Amino acid sequence: MENNVFNRTSHNSPGSEISTNLYNLVIGLVLCWGFLLNWIMVENIPYETIASINPWLFFLGYIAACFFGITLFIKSDSALVSFIGYNFIVVPFGLIINLVVHQYDPDLVLSAIRVTGLVTGVMMILGTLFPRFFEKIAGALTIALIAVIIVEAVEVFIFKMHHGILDWIVAAIFCGYIGFDWSRANSIPKTLDNAVDSAAALYMDIINLFLRILRIMGRRR
């Protein structure tokens, strides 16, 4: 994508650059908005309402909304448009989270949230300290994720089973993505639009990591 936000440089990036502190604050606020919206959805949308939706309709709607949202925030030069795209990702993810967390004890969910937060913080620190390392492994992470998705699909839809080791592998992959996306966020021009776009990428990493950690902890209980 020629206008991909993560390919922008100080020479071709639209918008005025802001201070590092404000840039990081915007990333944090956008992330918090996504997590808050997810919490509101879990608290106020009955599990039964989501579960009653036709699975194929739900799946296709989920894919369409996420694809549209990703396209918006990657291609847009406007922080507002990118934020709208971000919400098109947050809402369908919120429905998935709702379906998942209702299967577990609330105390376990809180524990998974705490662990996810700690792991995310560690990976952000590593991403800051070793940006070149995460840049080098980005391609391997993508290949590994695609391979795991294919294996999981075959296991679930053909063999009707799921190996727990795959959850550990996916969790490790998204740990790598958090470090990579955080280091990448700090290597592109610090504009409001880029802050929103970076937050959107990190949001997807963190939520996917949380869901896997929750499954791992739930299995151990």
pLDDT tens, position by position, 164-175: 889 999 999 999
Q: What is the mean pLDDT of residues 89-106?
A: 95
Compute the distance between CA of residue 104 and CA of residue 92 in angstroms, rounded to an integer: 20
Residue 6: name the closest of 215, 196, 187, 210 by CA: 187
- pLDDT of 94 strictly over 90: yes
pLDDT at res. 157: 77
Domain contains 193: yes
Domain contains 5: no
Is residue 118 very low, low, confident or very high in pLDDT (cuts 50, 70, 90)? very high
Is residue 153 very low, low, confident or very high in pLDDT (cuts 50, 70, 90)? confident
Is residue 12 very low, low, confident or very high in pLDDT (cuts 50, 70, 90)? low
Q: What is the mean pLDDT of residues 152-161?
A: 80
Domain contains 76: yes
Domain contains 4: no
- Lowest-pLDDT range of 41-50, 60-69, 161-170, 173-182: 161-170
Domain contains 8: no
Give burial (CB, 10 Å; 0-12/13-18/19+) of 115: middle
Domain contains 44: yes
- pLDDT of 9 strictly over 70: no
Interacting residues of 58 by C-beta distance below 8 A, sequence separation 6+? 50, 95
Domain contains 162: yes
Instruction: Please count the structural domains in the chain.
Output: 1
CA dihedral 193→199→205→206, nearest 10 degrees, is: -170
Q: What is the mean pLDDT of residues 20-32?
A: 97
Domain contains 9: no
Give burial (CB, 10 Å; 0-12/13-18/19+) of 140: exposed
Average per-residue pLDDT for the chain: 91
Q: Domain range holding 180?
A: 17-220
List, in sequence order, the alpha helices (H) in the chain: 20-44, 47-51, 55-75, 79-101, 106-129, 131-154, 165-185, 192-220
- pLDDT of 159 strictly over 90: no
Secondary structure in 3-state letters for 135-159:
HHHHHHHHHHHHHHHHHHHHHHHHH
